[in-house]
Amino acid sequence: MCGICGFTGEILNRTQVIELMTDLITHRGPDSAGFFADNDVSMGFRRLSIIGLESGNQPIYNEDNTLVLTFNGEIYNYKELRNELISYGHKFYTDADSEVIIHGFEQWKEELLNKLRGMFAFSIWNREEKSLFLARDFFGIKPLHYAKVNENFVYSSEIKSILAFPDYEKELNIQALDRYLSFQYVVPPETFFKGIYCLPPGHYLWYKNDEISIKRYFKIEFSPESSLSLENAVESIDQAIKESVNVHRISDVDIGCFLSSGIDSSYIASHFPGGKTFTVGFDLGEKYNEIKWARDLSKLIGAEHHCKLITADEFWNTVPKAMYYMDQPLADPSCIALYFVSKLASEHVKVVLSGEGADEFFGGYNIYKEPSALGIYKKIFPSFIRNLIAKLAKAVPFKFKGKNYLIRAAKSVEERFIGNAFMFSFDEKCKILKNPELASKPQEICKKLYDDVKDQEDVTKMQYLDMNLWLVGDILLKADRMSMANSLEVRVPFLDTEVWKTAQRLPLNLKVTKENTKFALRKAAEKNLPIDTAQKKKLGFPVPIRVWLRSKKYFEIVQEEFNSTNSSKFFNANILNRLLDEHFKGKNDNSRKIWTIYTFLVWYKMYFYE
């Protein structure tokens, strides 16, 4: 795992600039640095040595040095591709997986991308054509950002590196705040920095003759097979996961595994006994502490278990550091916990396997049960009756059991679901924002994605939305940033193109049932895990924000930020204080909304301190 950066054109002190940009991502690759420069481009690279320890330093060149590569990621089928390329006459001078990219690009150009199996973000400079080629992996495991700055094109694995480019004038993208308040993350491809974007997953970019051209090479497509039996699905899933874990273990260094009490990481860990597992929790009872579950499973599979209890002060004191490494605010409190488990793992191994992607691929989120839960009600009452009942429910000034159900049942999935997090509605944003004209309806962002799957049933629509937004903007971003902050490589065997070939075939009845989510995946996991682990309800990564915000100490920390000068630039303080007071007094659980505002303000202070 590594970090890459670079820029085109000639600027004053460009050697010092590329070195500074590269230094800022040293945490992504502390083992070595590499550079390339000619009259038209400057490229930087930081390396975390995983494969080809002695010979894999970058940049990597083709035979005649006309192509120059810097690469972040791992290619798991590199040995097969290497043999094929040698048969075409290509000559290799390293044992590293990265070299298949440079020769593969020379052989197949853009068609190389669909031949790769792995996670990647890379840049290739063509010295003869004076062109730059960037590409990002299928599902967005590895990040890649870019900006056009005057006559220069600038790119990097992390935004902080682009901010160091001298001609870039740092400016807040205020529209990103509106979207963040709804989704809890910045909706890609935009970022919180004006003019800086992320290359979308499954896309490549050409920069040539001062022009940017972006094209898609991979699109997520569902092809459910209604005739697929549970028995065949279970066998296919188990074989696909087993094979994926096996190829994701290719490494010249030790590999461990993140482990919670849930099925995803447990299923992966069960496929390589004897390794090391890592878990963190909070000292607030079993709801916030999965260590016992993880320890028991580790013992069962013969793994060496390592764990850490995170104190409240440790958690809160780490928020600014985490927001620095994130580059952008993320209101998912589990990202702080992920920082701690990555730090723990990095003390023992260089690489860990993790369970990201299983929920999106196999239908794992509890909200995916909602279409079924609303189904009977929708069949009984026509839409105009449901709309009337919803209006009456909204008009009731107090909460009652079933109120939210009645309101949501009046809406289509396109209206009610914007992803796993829905923080502030359009009406709420109009009240909380100093400038209500910034507020937009989050459904407008989702419309194009919903249009892509308009012929699919509701759960598949929800999966598609999450795979394109939530997975990229939250799940994978925090996994990359928090692990790389600790110079740790995270590999995700579920997010594999071969696993996807199995997952995309599953019909609804093999994904979500009345009893549980990830139905077929859980049945497959029973082949390797105790039934109580395989069938355990999804918890997420529980963090006791709700509890902490009802203690005076943390209430006052947040209160100070809510009434700060920075806060007054964007928000109406009276609304913020009302949310905080209601939560502190136990009248409402406003913890997630409070945390959304708080993390933005902590991040803003870090990057726009005045």
In whole angstroms, give the CA distance from residue 579 to residue 343: 33
CB 127 within 8 Å of CB 104? no
pLDDT value at residue 52: 65
Q: Is the pLDDT of residue 53 over 70?
A: no
Q: How far is residue 190's CA from residue 184's CA, in Å, rounded to a whole number?
A: 14
Of 500, 502, 469, the closest CA to residue 225 belongs to 502
Say if pTM beats, i.e. exceeds, 0.75: yes
For residues 100 and 75, the answer to whether their CB atoms sit within 8 Å is yes
Output the six-digit token pair for 588: 């409402």
- CA dist., res. 404 & res. 402, Å (int): 6
Looking at residue 5, what is its pLDDT? 98
Highest mean pLDDT among 32-36, 286-290, 386-390: 32-36
In which residue are the tokens 């916990």 written? Answer: 337
CB-hemisphere CA count at 13 Å for 338?
30
The region of weakest confidence among 64-73, 289-298, 480-489 is 289-298
pLDDT tens by residue, 106-160: 999 999 999 999 999 999 999 999 999 999 999 999 999 999 999 999 999 999 9
Helices (H), 508-572: 519-525, 531-534, 545-548, 552-562, 565-570
Residue 579: closest CA among 605, 602, 561: 561
Least confident of 293-297, 423-427, 434-438: 293-297
Domains of the chain: 2-216 (3.60.20.10), 230-364+467-534 (3.40.50.620), 544-610 (no CATH)
What are 440's two structure tokens? 């937009």
Does residue 257 carry a catalytic annotation?
Answer: no
Banded model confidence at residue 540, pLDDT cuts 50, 70, 90: low
The pLDDT, as a whole number, for residue 56 is 66
What is the structure's pLDDT at 398?
81
Give the pLDDT mean for 201-228: 97
Distance of CA 432 to the CA centre of its chain: 27
The active-site residue out of 2, 5, 198, 257 is: 5
Q: What pLDDT band is residue 55 in, cutting at 50, 70 and 90? A: low
pLDDT of the residue at 474? 97
At residue 73, the 3 state secondary structure works out as: strand
* Contact assessment for residue 470 and residue 419, using Cβ atoms and an 8 Å cutoff: yes
**Exposed/middle/buried for residue 411 (C-beta within 10 Å: 0-12, 13-18, 19+):** middle
Per mean pLDDT, which range of 91-105, 131-145, 284-298, 466-480 is the poorest? 284-298
pLDDT for 204 equals 98
- HSE toward the beta carbon, residue 298, CA cutoff 13 A: 22
